[in-house]
Amino acid sequence: MTANGIDYANIPESKSQDDAGLHRVLIVGGGAGGLELATQLGDALGKRGKASVVLLDKSSVHVWKPHLHEVAAGTLDIHVDSLEYLAHAHAHGYRYRIGEMCGLNRKARQVYVSSMLDDEGKPLVPPRVLGYDTLVLAVGSVSNDFGTPGVKEHAIAIDSADEAARFNRRMINACVRANAQYEPLRPGQLHVVVVGGGATGIELVAELHKTMRELAAYGLDSIDFDKSIKLTVIEAGPRILGPLPEKLAASTQNMLSGLGVNVLTEQNAAEVTPEGVRLASGEFIAAEMVVWAAGIRAPDFLKNIDGLETDRINRLIVRDTLQTTLDDDVFAIGDCASFALPGDGQPAPPRAQTAHQMASLLVGAVHARLAKQALPKFRYRDFGSLVNLSEYGTVGNLVGIGKRGLHLEGVVARWMYRSLYLMHQKAVHGTTKVALGTIANMLTRRTEPRIKLH
């Protein structure tokens, strides 16, 4: 069987002597759901020699995806606020393998892993074959460009820590370049267009409004950044923050307008060029930097992978046990899983809370498989949504409190938003380490620059 032009039938399966006789759990993807699942299974089964738990991810570090907009803006340093899989795996009883899945052989229960190069272009790992008894696909999602011309070439999608860091470097370089040049700013210079008015786009534009102006305090004082920096949000729908109640979305738009952010609704981006974004109406918006946050899809390699059912955006269709419809040994969780909600039949939303709930269920499912018992069934519970608007505020809506839910703004909403990250940290580090780490961060941040400058 071939993938990426390589005949994987001629590559021997990678095996460990420690796996002999053990049930092999292979988790592909170290995002919020995959990492939490690997941690809990490693602690409960891997450390005790009851199962082999392996986590496969193409990156060597984990950054909580809801924080990527802060990495892009420079308010979060991935060298400080990230987790190294190799060290974490050693501490929690699972094994980490670096690599990117490119194919699946369900009959042989094997995953195909493509070769990788290091930063200097030298071979890092060869093509490999990993075996499994239980396979959990947790590869998340990537931005959906909907076939829009120029997006891949001229826009940045903040899908990973590497992409967020790349945008951060581009932003800093743009500010330094503008500050040092002799000629006046050209049209579109220091203008950032964010395509997509969902939580990701709105959180990013609020964070950028703060950090791009704070750069002036670090000696970039040759130009008036308050007048020169421009931020625009383009949203195809009738309003920003579609999942939130209209009242909160309206207050958020008013706040952005007060900051000078240009919010365009009911506008479609038809093309991205090196100079900016062309709208379907024909209007052209000049911009030095374009961020694409207009939608998601599962990675392309999942589309009908080895005959499994997928939906129109490549997500694996799963049953209420989170098993794929055609293979009891293959599960999917998080953004790459399409689980139909009872009642309206719509897929569970692609949120961190969904991945967390699915990972928690899969812990019980693996235990049940080992004990040859019936698997638990997934029931999604919507706790609401929270959107962090940098230092300007936080808004959200908690479901299940009152007839319309509880609308939150201000300090309480910000505390709730931060508590979500603490819950994720607790799942992967434990209570003691999270408590100590929180105290340490409170102390060190008082002595460090407020934004990352390199």
Residues pairing with 25 in the sheet: 53, 134
What is the full DSSP assignment across 143-185?
A: E--TT-TTHHHH-B---SHHHHHHHHHHHHHHHHHHHH-SSPP
Q: Which residues contact 423 (CB under 8 A, 6 or more apart)?
A: 356
Contact assessment for residue 420 and residue 386, using Cβ atoms and an 8 Å cutoff: yes
What fold is seen in the domain 151-295?
FAD/NAD(P)-binding domain (3.50.50)
The phi and psi torsions of 257 (rounded to 5 degrees) equal -60, -40
Q: Do domains 2-141+298-370 and 151-295 have the same CATH topology?
A: yes
d(CA 45, CA 311): 33
Q: Where are the domains of the chain?
A: 2-141+298-370, 151-295, 384-438
Helical ranges in 262-393 per DSSP H: 352-370
Q: Cα-Cα-Cα-Cα dihedral of 344, 307, 100, 422, to 10°?
A: 20
Pairing of strands 128-131, 110-114: antiparallel
Q: Do residues 200 and 335 lie in contact, with contact meaning Cβ atoms separated by under 8 Å?
A: no
Residue reference for tokens 């269709």 = 317
Tell how strand 6-7 and strand 2-3 pair up.
Answer: antiparallel
- Report the SS3 class of residue 211: helix
pLDDT (tens digit, 9 = 90+) per residue, 163-176? Answer: 999 999 999 999 99
Q: Which amino acid type is present at position 141?
A: S
- CA 250, 252, 254, 258: dihedral to nearest 10 degrees? 180
Gap between the Cα atoms of 285 and 23, Å rounded? 56
∠ CA 422-423-428, nearest 5°, is 95
Q: Give the model's pLDDT for residue 16.
A: 80
pLDDT tens per residue, range 128-159? 999 999 999 999 999 999 999 999 999 999 99
How far apart CA 155 and CA 145 sit, in angstroms, is 10
For residue 153, what pLDDT is reported?
96
pLDDT attached to residue 392: 79
Report the pLDDT value the prediction gives residue 75, as an integer from 0 to 100.
Answer: 83
Q: From CA 91, how far away is CA 428, in angstroms rounded?
A: 11
CA distance 454 to 452: 6
Give the other-Cβ count within 10 Å of 147's Cβ: 6
Alpha helices in 93-144 (DSSP H): none
- Identify each DSSP E strand in 214-282 by its residue range: 230-235, 262-265, 269-273, 276-279
Amino acid 441: pLDDT? 63
Euclidean distance between CA atoms 171 and 192, whole angstroms:
9
Model pLDDT, residue 384: 77
The fold of 2-141+298-370 is FAD/NAD(P)-binding domain (3.50.50)
Query: Which positions of the chain have pLDDT values less than 70?
Result: 217, 398-406, 409-413, 434, 436-454
Residue 97 main-chain phi, psi, to 5 deg:
-125, 130
Q: Which two tokens stand for residue 400?
A: 């299940």
Q: What is the Cα–Cα distance from 204 to 292, expressed in whole angstroms?
A: 11
